[in-house]
Structure 1
Amino acid sequence: GLAFGAEKGAEFIKQNDPESYALLEAYADGVNQYIDQLSDARLPVEYKILNYRPEHWTAFKSILLLKYMTDMLVGDRDLEYSNLRKILGEVMLDKLYPEYPQGVDPVIEPGHDWGFTPATVNRPDSISYPDDLLVIESLPQPADGTGSNNWAVSGSKTKSGNPILANDPHLSLNLPSLWYSMQLTTPSHSVKGATLPGALGVISGFNENIAWGVTNATRDTRDWYKITYQDDSRKAYRYGDKWEQTSFRIEEIKVKGEPVYLDTVVYTNYGPVVYDRTFNANRQDVNFALKWNVHEGSNEQKTFLMLNTAKNHDDYNAALNSYTAPAQNFVFASKSGDIAMRIQGKFPLKWKGQGKFFMDGADPRMEWQGYIPNEHNASTLNPSRGFVSSANQHPTDSTYPYYVFDNSYEFYRNRRLNSRLSEMNQITVEDMQALQFDDYYLHAAEALPLMLELVGANADSDEDAKKYIGLLKEWDFYADPNQKAPTLFFIWWKNTYGQVWSDLSKNVAPIVLPNYYRTVQLMKDAPNDPVFDLRGTAEIETAATHVQQGFKEMLADMKIWEAEQGDFSWANYKQTKVQHLVPQFKSFSVENVYTGGGSGILNATSNRAGASWRMVVELGEEVNAFGIYPGGQSGNPGSKYYSNFINRWANGEYLNFDLRKSDQTEGVLFQTILN
């Protein structure tokens, strides 16, 4: 339903904000003027290889781009949780997948005074779910490594007395780069930062008065409803004690060298029926409708246009009021000294547990009960701790009066970030840059001592085992590129984790496994718990059983790696790649980038994902800014500016991003960046 959602968005913007729509059309006109002057010889090389010409850009495409970004950043595990409920029962499900585990460090500081009376939510007296075990492929989910960090510190914690803001969105590492850095100057304002080709304005950046940045606010805003049709015509479906009429949307799918494919999609009051008899009819979840706030009219583009010209906290709040999806944690800092964080999106008003599993679309009680009032979205301004931060973790503590759920909250980057910000004072821009490039592996720091304790005599099984154990015991838990211990831990943990949940993994129905954080908690607090003996074998299995087996598998894996590759330093093992958007165009990619970090680390650089943009801004009398991204200002693989930032990015270096003054000539505007 992305195109449907974009059409709704276009209608909404035309009716409610014609000025924004005029800007979208003007943007498209500029793109098309360039396309029309392109001869075949000057087409980008990708179009030549694929034998295409770019078609004209439209306002609709800019809106669709932001809907696509939502789909890229938002997932749901309704299918997997429905299966887990059937396999484990609700008691074990809650034990292995607690919605609010011990030790959560939320985005909004604990103990925050919400200052509002919440809207009422009515929970049905009885709830029944479609209860068949679904043996099908999982639905597409956000790519591994998708996440982000952002934070702002107040002048009370900085050396200069000025607020400092930092942002690094974590996405797939691609060439040409996802972002394009730009300064936009008009007679009334200048703004600079990372732009998203196809969308208007600066997405993460700053102007003369404020700075802002975004991270993904993981929240469950997609739900699935089983549809019961009246007959094969699919013209009506059961809704309570009556039959509601469906509507049909015919979509054209262009196929190169073949006739256009016409796809008839059924729409219900919930939304589109995604899988049906004409699309993946072999799935067991055919005839489920998707309810998603993307299918309702909204104007996210206005948010960024307003942020680009904002001058203070009131302007920031006004800009965010237009924002629906994908939900984001918007960090803010201003020259006047304010710092703030707001978790912004259009969030369904749900009773506890609603939307966690597939629901029966014939039962009207399963409907969302509206939306959380926009003014009740969690936010904070100038908290007493002197900083705000987010890293895709739980949005709030348990005192927030609305039901909040997602299956993918982060548990390591956020705690490392908050720990460092709490203890730091006299902070400088260089300190914030170092924190963005921080390689401390908190997961390893919490899991490895436990694993070393549980491995027992297996640690002395041979000379290789002694060597590896020695490296691990000496490790300082920093995943720097030249370190070897991160590789050993990564492989040992992967095998141990696989052993712990091997019985669950053997289910033919798709499920999601308990996360790393919960697994370590169970290994530490209850190493002899029956959850470690799900197979029920004659020999009772414990956490130690799995750690020891994982160690044996690590030894075998390392024997193969050292024989074939030799060097098992961390950078050589994870082999970070910045890959061309067409994966087969390997010669246009940059492979084996020498850098540290990893998933779950503040420097979140894994094999294919990481900080797609790093920005640090100090809001003094003169705004000082620094930025970098893993690519370059050209999309042409033959240009020296195609990938010239990558080595600096990999080394944690930055470019000066200060605003250029109006008296500086246009010709030197990006001389600093390009050089």
Structure 2
Amino acid sequence: RGLGLLSRDFGPGYLEQDRAARLLLYRGNMSPEWVAYGSDSEEICSAFAEGINSYVDSCNEGLIALPPEFVLLGHAPDRWKPEDVVRVRTHSLTRNATSELLRSKVMALAGAQDGARLDGLRQVLSPAIVPRPVEGFDPAVMTDRVLRDFHLATSPVSFSRARLAAKLDDAGLWTNVTKSDEVVRTPFEEGSNSWAVAASKTTTGRPMLALDPHRNHVLPSVRYVVHLSMPGLNVIGAGEPMVPGISMGHNGTASFAITIFGTDQEDIYVYDLKPDEEDEYSYKGAWEQVVTIKESIPVCGHEDQQVELRFTRHGPVLYKDAENKRAFALRTVWMDSGMAPYMASLAVMRAKTHAEYVSALACWGCPSVNHIYADISNTIAWNPSGAAPIRRNWDGLLPVPGDGRFEWDGYLSSDDGPSELNPVKGFVATANAMNVPQEWSRANPAFGHEWSESSRHETLHSKLSRLKKISLKDCMSLQCSVY
């Protein structure tokens, strides 16, 4: 899915999803990209791909039975390239682009003031703020079509009989992300809980760390459990299937866990197109050229299909409204260099001290997460991580004109963010809710304003605070709690 090659094996019903996926592929220089993840990241990813390819070759040679889904669908697995690990970005946890669209639609119907109030029923904002359209943006221009390609690219792959049997003339019909048999996107809200308890507050006299990821059961799985043991490395835990290493687990000395942290890492930009030239858009008083990349997509049973992918300086063009001379593009952290999702885990999983851990987190770009840490030296800590765009003149809650007035001013330095180290209360805990200290929020730009509701966070902190000593059984009970 991530490379945009589904239609090669499954036919025209997947062509539009392939085109959308290619819009969100990383296309930058690979040399600095590898450097961003550590001096040995290319070597690690090469070995990772080589191991997968060895298994694929054994399957193709009949030495190992193919997984049943390949047999049922009548195709063979592909060999991997090391760069595929970091070029694909659509497995990152996405942020508020969809929310920007929904908020705009409410304002278009009810007006800016009443729309902001009504949208508050859908999403409580914290720190509290009243979203307002910036000068030059009309919420009425936003339609569901704007994010169709974004949802296509980031949605799971479905295999209905009708989709597999689609004809080439019907390829354009398979574009809606719905709850039907087309491209299904689950309505379940994912979240996680994690906590670390100091040795002084546990029944074992040792720190405890617990993690409860609330991720859907899907195929392919979003997690895999692995124990990696070799000279100089011994880690066990869970990671992402297409990324080497683990992002949660332990290395015998330090343990680590992640949950979603609500940094706003996406923005929708709206452009005015040149009246007589639709591939130019207004930027800082001049006309700037849209970059067009032409690619050929193989389609099972048909000739290769030619597609055009368009990009502005901010990112991929998701929709061009030719009638009204507008274009819409996505600016997202995870399309920047050095921001391949979870790749910083290569350094994080090898950290043996909190200082090494914090140093490794400085390279963590995507997704934005709470990091919880505990080690055998009785250190526990909370360090939120992930690239946080600095918006000087807007709040990120609505789309903005792409004319140069609304630009990110870099990212917040990881050294400047909030954190907790061995707090007096004896624990650190996260559950996707707004957990940035008020004193920090008052003095710094907001990470974001959209977080999960706080009931899990409040329950977790309440129960951990009440217990004088916490046992493994207590942790298991908390993980199974439905409050």
The TM-score range, normalised by the shorter chain, is: 0.7 to 0.9
The residue number in structure 2 matching 1:246 is: 290
The residue number in structure 2 matching 1:256 is: 300
The residue number in structure 2 matching 1:29 is: 50
- Mapped pair 1:382 → 2:422: yes
The residue number in structure 2 matching 1:53 is: 76
Helix, strand or coil at the partner of 1:77: helix
What is the CA–CA distance in structure 2 between the aligned matches of 1:368 and 1:39, rounded to whole Å? 48
CA gap 1:86/1:353 in 2 versus in 1, 3 angstroms: farther
The residue number in structure 2 matching 1:8 is: 28
CA offsets, 1:246-288, max 9 Å, x none? 21122333322222222212211111111236xxx89x89610
Q: Which runs of 5+ in 1 are unaligned?
A: 103-123, 441-675
Matched residue type, 1:423: R
Residue pair 1:153, 1:165 contacting (<8 A) in 2 also: yes
Matched residue type, 1:411: S
What is the CA–CA distance in structure 2 between the aligned matches of 1:64 and 1:74, rounded to whole Å? 22
The residue number in structure 2 matching 1:179 is: 223
- Mapped pair 1:205 → 2:245: no
What is the CA–CA distance in structure 2 between the aligned matches of 1:135 and 1:187, rounded to whole Å? 55
CA gap 1:218/1:428 in 2 versus in 1, 3 angstroms: same
Helix, strand or coil at the partner of 2:319: coil
What is the CA–CA distance in structure 1 between the aligned matches of 2:314 and 2:219, rounded to whole Å? 38
The residue number in structure 1 matching 2:91 is: 69
Residue pair 1:196, 1:202 contacting (<8 A) in 2 also: yes
Distance apart, 1:299 and its partner CA? 5.2
What is the CA–CA distance in structure 2 between the aligned matches of 1:210 and 1:438, rounded to whole Å? 27
Residue pair 2:243, 2:343 contacting (<8 A) in 1 also: no
Superposed structure 1 runs of 4+ greater than 6 Å apart: none
CA offsets, 1:175-197, max 9 Å, x none? 56443322111222311111332
Residue pair 1:302, 1:319 contacting (<8 A) in 2 also: no
Matched residue type, 1:227: Y
Helix, strand or coil at the partner of 2:429: strand
Distance apart, 1:30 and its partner CA? 1.4
- Mapped pair 1:132 → 2:172: no
The residue number in structure 2 matching 1:290 is: 330
CA offsets, 1:36-57, max 9 Å, x none? 1224752221111111111111
Residue pair 1:130, 1:359 contacting (<8 A) in 2 also: no
Residue pair 1:352, 1:403 contacting (<8 A) in 2 also: no
Q: Going by fraction, where is strand more abundant, 1 or 2?
A: 2
Q: Name the stretch that deviates more: 422-431 or 1-10.
A: 1-10
Matched residue type, 2:52: V
The residue number in structure 1 matching 2:196 is: 152
The residue number in structure 1 matching 2:480 is: 437
What is the CA–CA distance in structure 1 between the aligned matches of 2:250 and 2:273, rounded to whole Å? 52
CA gap 1:58/1:285 in 2 versus in 1, 3 angstroms: farther
What is the CA–CA distance in structure 1 between the aligned matches of 2:401 and 2:224, rounded to whole Å? 45
Helix, strand or coil at the partner of 1:318: helix
The residue number in structure 2 matching 1:344 is: 385
Pairs within 5 Å for 1:271-670: 271-276=315-320, 287-298=327-338, 302-351=343-392, 353-362=394-403, 364-399=404-439, 400=441, 401-440=444-483
What is the CA–CA distance in structure 1 between the aligned matches of 2:239 and 2:375, rounded to whole Å? 20
What is the CA–CA distance in structure 1 between the aligned matches of 2:333 and 2:21, rounded to whole Å? 11
CA offsets, 1:458-504, max 9 Å, x none? xxxxxxxxxxxxxxxxxxxxxxxxxxxxxxxxxxxxxxxxxxxxxxx
What is the CA–CA distance in structure 2 between the aligned matches of 1:76 and 1:128, rounded to whole Å? 20
Q: Name the stretch that deviates more: 147-156 or 7-16.
A: 7-16
What is the CA–CA distance in structure 2 between the aligned matches of 1:198 and 1:204, rounded to whole Å? 15
Distance apart, 1:352 and its partner CA? 6.6
The residue number in structure 2 matching 1:107 is: none
What is the CA–CA distance in structure 2 between the aligned matches of 1:73 and 1:306, rounded to whole Å? 24
Distance apart, 1:432 and its partner CA? 0.6
What is the CA–CA distance in structure 1 between the aligned matches of 2:349 and 2:336, rounded to whole Å? 25
CA offsets, 1:123-166, max 9 Å, x none? x9x73323425443584387523111111111221122211101
Matched residue type, 1:221: Q
Residue pair 1:5, 1:294 contacting (<8 A) in 2 also: no
Matched residue type, 2:27: E
Q: Which runs of 5+ in 2 are unaligned?
A: 1-19, 152-184
Residue pair 2:96, 2:267 contacting (<8 A) in 1 also: no
What is the CA–CA distance in structure 2 between the aligned matches of 1:80 and 1:387, rounded to whole Å? 37
Pairs within 5 Å for 1:76-225: 76-96=98-118, 97=120, 98-100=124-126, 127-132=135-140, 134-136=142-144, 139=147, 140=151, 143-174=187-218, 177-225=221-269
Tell me how many residue pairs correspond in the alignment. 413
Task: Identify the match of residue 59 of structure 2 among 38, 51, 61.
Answer: 38
RMSD between aligned residues: 2.9
Matched residue type, 1:148: S
Residue pair 1:393, 1:409 contacting (<8 A) in 2 also: yes
What is the CA–CA distance in structure 2 between the aligned matches of 1:271 and 1:287, rounded to whole Å? 12
CA offsets, 1:220-270, max 9 Å, x none? 211111112224544421112111232112233332222222221221111
Helix, strand or coil at the partner of 2:307: strand
What is the CA–CA distance in structure 2 between the aligned matches of 1:186 and 1:146, rounded to whole Å? 34
Larger Rg: 1
Helix, strand or coil at the partner of 1:294: helix
What is the CA–CA distance in structure 2 between the aligned matches of 1:49 and 1:76, rounded to whole Å? 35
Residue pair 1:274, 1:290 contacting (<8 A) in 2 also: yes
Residue pair 1:275, 1:285 contacting (<8 A) in 2 also: no
Distance apart, 1:357 and its partner CA? 1.1
Residue pair 1:191, 1:205 contacting (<8 A) in 2 also: yes
What is the CA–CA distance in structure 1 between the aligned matches of 2:424 and 2:29, rounded to whole Å? 39
Distance apart, 1:217 and its partner CA? 1.3
Matched residue type, 1:78: E
What is the CA–CA distance in structure 1 between the aligned matches of 2:288 and 2:394, rounded to whole Å? 26
The residue number in structure 2 matching 1:609 is: none
CA gap 1:210/1:232 in 2 versus in 1, 3 angstroms: farther
What is the CA–CA distance in structure 1 between the aligned matches of 2:29 and 2:466, rounded to whole Å? 44
CA offsets, 1:525-580, max 9 Å, x none? xxxxxxxxxxxxxxxxxxxxxxxxxxxxxxxxxxxxxxxxxxxxxxxxxxxxxxxx
Helix, strand or coil at the partner of 2:273: coil
* TM-score normalised to structure 2 length: 0.78
Distance apart, 1:93 and its partner CA? 4.4
What is the CA–CA distance in structure 2 between the aligned matches of 1:173 and 1:324, rounded to whole Å? 25
Q: Name the stretch that deviates more: 15-24 or 194-203.
A: 15-24
Matched residue type, 1:317: V
What is the CA–CA distance in structure 2 between the aligned matches of 1:159 and 1:25, rounded to whole Å? 44
CA offsets, 1:181-219, max 9 Å, x none? 221112223111113322111221001111001111122
Helix, strand or coil at the partner of 2:461: helix
CA offsets, 1:29-81, max 9 Å, x none? 1111221122475222111111111111112322245x222155765311111
Distance apart, 1:307 and its partner CA? 2.2
CA offsets, 1:622-672, max 9 Å, x none? xxxxxxxxxxxxxxxxxxxxxxxxxxxxxxxxxxxxxxxxxxxxxxxxxxx
CA gap 1:131/1:74 in 2 versus in 1, 3 angstroms: closer
Matched residue type, 1:24: C
Matched residue type, 1:79: L
What is the CA–CA distance in structure 2 between the aligned matches of 1:78 and 1:72, rounded to whole Å? 13
Residue pair 1:6, 1:60 contacting (<8 A) in 2 also: no
Residue pair 2:229, 2:235 contacting (<8 A) in 1 also: yes
The residue number in structure 2 matching 1:471 is: none
